[in-house]
Chains A and B, each alone.
Chain A
Amino acid sequence: MTSPLMQVEDLSISFKINDKWCRAVNGVTFDIMPNETLCIVGESGCGKSITAMSLMKLLPDTARLGGHVRFGGQDILSLKERELEEIRGSRIAMIFQEPMTSLNPVLTVGEQIAEPLVLHKGMGWSEAKKEARNLLDLVRIPDAQKRLGQYPHELSGGMRQRVMIAIGLACRPQILIADEPTTALDVTIQAQVLALLEDIRKEQELSIVMITHDLGVVANVADRVAVMYAGDVVETGPVASIFDSPSHPYTQALLRTVPRADAAFELSPIEGQVPSIQKMPEGCRFAPRCKEETSKCNVTPKLSPGAHSVACWARGDIQ
């Protein structure tokens, strides 16, 4: 049994709103295994993006963090800024949804890809620029030499996201965190970028943590899945098991709301709204919208043990 690359234990993230601490992430636990794609999936406000940010301790000081993020014998959450700088962009890298706002508009593509190599690997600029060219080949940008001298506005959305991936991969990280990397792209371009990420993951033996709201993307790229709702991981397991036998009432309901291009069926929406962070229900946070609510649901359920685990009082053990 291989040991996990990163262990997230009871991670909680709170923000102070109107003088009251509100828990946006409510104690989540999951592992990231070597050489796998873990998808964290959920709707707006479920805490998936801030969970991803906290894996690199990128949240502002106004956030109160609890729990542990264990990586390489250290707890990321207890590291100082200077120690974090050695990890960020070097051993753990991140790419974002909107490549136009995360690229610097006044630097050339080449300079931006070379920068992490100069900072982390101590390369000289000319050597780093050469390596940048190789990275553009790796992300399959044609005409790499010309592209190196271009600015982000000269590239299409798909190309910009490829440049982001090249920057992320520059220092050969062990973990690449991708926050909705294809959400802003057209479907044919999305398919290209997803295939690229998958190929690179295999080649480089990298682990990818992909944050997405799109269950179609999850079904096509994930090895394992964590489903989040209102700050909790409600279900986690191998991708085949999650889609073939979804167990949590939320996962089941969510799968019935996605319109599919291959078949028409009666969509059944989940009634009600995701609760506001200031008014989270006690106990299971899905209970007010759940059709299987029981008297136990006012206590927060824990994830059941096993590879496919679920946090729900209405479910027995599930293996």
Chain B
Amino acid sequence: MKDLLVVEGLGKTFGSKKFLQAEYAVTALRNVSFTLGKGETVGVVGESGCGKSTLARCVLDLIEPTTGSVLFDDTDLTKLDAKAKRDIRSRIQMIFQDPYSSLNGKRTIGKTLAEPLWVHEGVKYKEALPRIHAVLKEVGLPVSAADKYPHEFSGGQRQRIAIARALILEPELIIADEAVSALDVSVQAQVLLLMNSIQKEHGLSYLFITHDLGVVRNFCDRVLVMYLGSVVESGPVAELLTNPKHPYTKSLRDAAPIPDISRRQSLALLEGEIPSPANPPSGCAFHPRCPRATDICRSEAPTLQSSDDQRMFACHNPEP
């Protein structure tokens, strides 16, 4: 099967060189490669500063990657001119974390949903109404929502509106950046199930950015685990979480508290904190916190290797 999205060697360095000031550079993303099939959900998981949101924005070319390519349906997004880029963006949509700041408070929901149709297809509001009503129904909101404003809705309902806005152009790929993180668990489950049923209905793909391994386990097919700008491990979700190869994946899994009293334990402790991307450690970025670190880890950065055709990890001393 052909992949919908092929990301190769993607890197992003933020930096500046000002007059009379030392040049500084922060590498937020380092040589990230992955593929995403049609109808597939790939999760990207990691802690603050691991580059997962930068990855999402680079894929959409919202920020320009420094190196690498993003092939969407065989077209390299990084090489397109503005017009072509705009056209292809109607096929990739994004949902953000905070439904309070991602919806325009001065516009009715109907106007918000009509905008992508006007921008990409030149459809006027009145003609767009049937499609707006259809998409509202699809995300489980009443048609009357079109005449209301964002403040009249709860967080979960607003996230449904954000999903409707992403869905109205019938995209092939939706990038969800912590789309359910701000929601209460009972509402989070509603939104996840909705996203699942939309996927089945439309056959679209998700790139799902999250910090929550529980969500990954229950929602994604494959997952990339990131640490300080690099992918440290990737593979099918169940296998990767049952038998993690990279010590960071294992620590992340064991630190996630599980609501089950029989699993009560002192949550496995990872020493230290996430290093600053402006001043990354030598060798493997994880070595100062790693219980399995040896000399080679301090001097040489490991490269991604595959244990079988599905799984990859970057570690000199992988878990057994």
| Cα(A239)–Cα(B261), bound, Å | 8
Asked if A44 and B184 make an inter-chain contact with CB atoms under 8 angstroms apart, the answer reads yes
User: Which of chain A's residues has its CB closest to B253's CB?
Assistant: A261
Given contacts A186-B47, A192-B269, A264-B217, contact A257 B186 (CB under 8 A): yes
Asked if A187 and B256 make an inter-chain contact with CB atoms under 8 angstroms apart, the answer reads yes
Q: Which of A191, A253, A260, A264 contacts B258 (CB 8 A)?
A: A260
Residues of chain A contacted by B264 (CB below 8 angstroms): 219-220
- The smallest C-beta distance from A191 to any residue of chain B, in angstroms, reads 4
- The smallest C-beta distance from A109 to any residue of chain B, in angstroms, reads 16
Asked if B255 and A190 make an inter-chain contact with CB atoms under 8 angstroms apart, the answer reads yes
Residues of chain A contacted by B185 (CB below 8 angstroms): 43, 213, 215, 254, 257-258
Residues of chain B contacted by A192 (CB below 8 angstroms): 269-270
Asked if A273 and B217 make an inter-chain contact with CB atoms under 8 angstroms apart, the answer reads no
Interface size in chain B (residues, C-beta < 8 A): 47
Given contacts A188-B252, A191-B267, A264-B218, contact A258 B259 (CB under 8 A): yes
Q: Does A269 contact B (CB under 8 A)?
A: yes
Please classify the interface of chain B as helix (H, G, I), strand (E, B), loop, or mixed, using the class held by over half of its residues.
helix
Residues of chain A contacted by B213 (CB below 8 angstroms): 187, 261
Q: Does B81 contact A (CB under 8 A)?
A: no
Interface members, chain A 249-288 (any B CB < 8 Å): 253-255, 257-265, 267-271, 273-274
User: Which of chain A's residues has its CB closest to B154's CB?
Assistant: A273
Asked if B259 and A216 make an inter-chain contact with CB atoms under 8 angstroms apart, the answer reads yes
Residues of chain A contacted by B186 (CB below 8 angstroms): 43, 253-254, 257, 269-270
Q: Does A78 contact B (CB under 8 A)?
A: no
Interface members, chain A 72-109 (any B CB < 8 Å): none
Tell which of B53-61, B67-75, B87-95, B189-197 binds the partner.
B189-197
Asked if A186 and B48 make an inter-chain contact with CB atoms under 8 angstroms apart, the answer reads yes
Residues of chain B contacted by A217 (CB below 8 angstroms): 257
Asked if B47 and A259 make an inter-chain contact with CB atoms under 8 angstroms apart, the answer reads no
Given contacts A187-B252, A189-B273, A254-B185, contact A219 B257 (CB under 8 A): yes
Asked if A260 and B218 make an inter-chain contact with CB atoms under 8 angstroms apart, the answer reads yes
Q: Does B188 contact A (CB under 8 A)?
A: yes
Asked if B260 and A187 make an inter-chain contact with CB atoms under 8 angstroms apart, the answer reads no
Residues of chain A contacted by B267 (CB below 8 angstroms): 190-191, 194-195, 220
Q: Which of B47, B190, B212, B260 contacts A188 (CB 8 A)?
A: B47
Q: Which of A194, A195, A213, A267 contacts B218 (CB 8 A)?
A: A267
| Cα(A218)–Cα(B156), bound, Å | 24
Asked if B211 and A187 make an inter-chain contact with CB atoms under 8 angstroms apart, the answer reads yes
**A-contacting residues of B (Cβ < 8 Å)?**
47-48, 154-157, 184-190, 192-193, 211-219, 237-238, 241, 251-253, 255-261, 263-270, 273-274
Please list 13 pairs of residues, one from A and one from B, whose beta carbons are closer than 8 Å in the complex, sorted by A's number.
Answer: A43-B186, A188-B255, A188-B274, A192-B270, A216-B214, A216-B256, A218-B259, A219-B257, A257-B188, A259-B215, A260-B258, A262-B258, A270-B186
